Amino acid sequence: MAAPAAGVETSFDDLADDPVGEVFVRLPSQASLAVASAVCRRWRGVCTSPAFLRRFHRRHPGAPFLGLIHSAGGVWDLRLLRDAGTRSRPDLGASLRAVDAAVLALSRLRRYQDLQILDYRGGLLVLKPRKYNHLFLHDLLTGRHVELRWPLPHVFSNMSGFLLDGGNIVFVCENEPGNNRQVPPRCESDYSCVYSASTGEWQLVQPSCRAADTARYAACRHDVAWSQRAGEVVYSRCSGRDVGRCLVALDTRTMSRSIVTLPSYLQRVHFPWGKPERDFTLMEMDDRGNIGLVAADEANFVLRVWLRREEGDEWTLYRKVVLLGLAHRVAERYDVHMNSLQVVAAYSGTVHLRLVAAAEEQCKGSLCFFASLNLASMEFSNVQSETVCEEDRFYPFTLPWRPPFLPPPGDEEADN
């Protein structure tokens, strides 16, 4: 590059795209790159080029965990329970402040006062007013949201929605069993409704079932306790008199179903009448389809973790952890009595726990203590207290390096 003429001011913008990319690829984290990509259209073009993305992801393979998004189901009480380790990361300071501001702004959104959270993933929220037929895809970091086309009305009822990669959405039948077995299930069909972010259209799909699992699926598909997404697969917790407890796995990439048998320990455990059926939590391990299963023996403060590879059918017991010591330390420090241990979320080898203290009289919620357990190092972090209710929901918040709603290079929107 020729030297600038004397008396002519130069700036970073005078550099060609390749030298700019050399600077950006050395940024310390995905959070720093997200800030750089939001500066102007040109920088956004450099940050989103396929060649640059491959280089950057080789240097930064993981997204930083910032904490847990906590909500009772709506946006009015949304909070971020920060991870204690992020306080020592100076490159995350600006991102944390931006997230706090975004959460506060969303909690004050008054277009609809009863916005419910259907799902969260990678900085995006799927929102729906409780009383109105509207769907919104909201970017928590930028504050931007788009209203989605409403799906087929006769399909949407009695379904649970999940956010997939690229802004795609899938709704699956709930079919929660009633007390009266003579009453037919609420959703006779086993269709799924899929939204394509690229076309903006909904499609009604009846997924196929693996031939070896057809009979088992027919016996248990009307007895769904709950569903959870792990990666691009939606797992529905089912049971039947003849097939026992199992998971129905819906692979949204191929729209096909298969049956996943639960570990033998969970087949034997007896649950008292009236106890909620969410007796374990699935854990997304990586993008190759490997998953974990985390079950808590609540009264005895014991945690069991199984791992399963996508190409295999067997679960392997990975960890059995007795957490009485942690419960005693927290109880002594805060002068409380611990009642139970619960798993609120699990993601990529880290289990986020909730230790529930004895509730005080006339208290609307339980005093809880949160802790994050890294399964590889067996170290605890992020121990803090909150007052929450049993039905509150938690989502692991990992900062996406690239704000999903930024327009592509060449868009006519004015530069920031």
Task: Please write the tens of the pLDDT for every residue from 281-314.
Answer: 999 886 667 889 999 988 889 999 999 887 667 8
How far is the C-alpha of 247 from the C-alpha of 261, rounded, in Å? 6
Q: Is the pLDDT score of 161 beyond 80?
A: yes
Supply angle C-alpha 85, 90, 95, rounded to 5: 85
The helix or strand, by DSSP H or E, that contains position 63, with its residue range, turns out to be none
How far is the C-alpha of 165 from the C-alpha of 184, rounded, in Å? 34
Which is higher by pLDDT, 196 or 90?
A: 196
- In this prediction, residue 393 carries a pLDDT of 80
Angle between helices 17-24 and 50-59 (to 10 degrees): 20
How far is the C-alpha of 386 from the C-alpha of 368, rounded, in Å? 5
- The closest of 317, 306, 396 to 353, measured between CA atoms, is 396
Q: Is the pLDDT score of 26 beyond 70?
A: yes
- The tens digit of pLDDT for each residue in 111-128 reads 666 788 888 887 788 888
How does residue 252 score in pLDDT terms, banded at 50, 70 and 90?
A: very high
How far is the C-alpha of 392 from the C-alpha of 390, rounded, in Å? 6
Strand order in the sheet with 233-240: 208-209, 256-261, 244-251, 233-240, 224-230
Q: Is the pLDDT score of 407 beyond 80?
A: no
319 touches 305 (CB < 8 A): yes
- In this prediction, residue 58 carries a pLDDT of 66
Report, as an integer, the average pLDDT of 100-109. 76
Taking each continuous run of H as one helix and of E as one strand, the counts in the chain are: 9, 24
How far is the C-alpha of 221 from the C-alpha of 233, rounded, in Å? 17
Residues whose CB is less than 8 angstroms from the CB of residue 301 and which lie 6 or more positions away in sequence, other chains included? 322, 323, 324, 326, 327, 338, 340, 341
How far is the C-alpha of 164 from the C-alpha of 166, rounded, in Å? 6
What are 54's two structure tokens?
């491959």
- In this prediction, residue 362 carries a pLDDT of 43
What are 170's two structure tokens?
């899938």
Distance, C-alpha 144 to centroid of its chain: 19
The helix or strand, by DSSP H or E, that contains position 30, with its residue range, turns out to be helix 30-37
What are 214's two structure tokens?
């057809």
Residue 84 dihedral angles phi and psi, to the nearest 5°: -60, -30
Torsion of CA 197, 201, 202, 205, to 10 degrees: -90
Q: Across 10-24, 188-202, 398-412, which has the greatest mean pLDDT?
A: 188-202
Q: Is the pLDDT score of 196 beyond 80?
A: yes
Q: 319-333 b/e with 16+ CB inside 10 Å = b?
A: bebebeebbeebbee
Across 186-195, 320-329, 330-339, least confident range: 186-195
The helix or strand, by DSSP H or E, that contains position 251, with its residue range, turns out to be strand 244-251
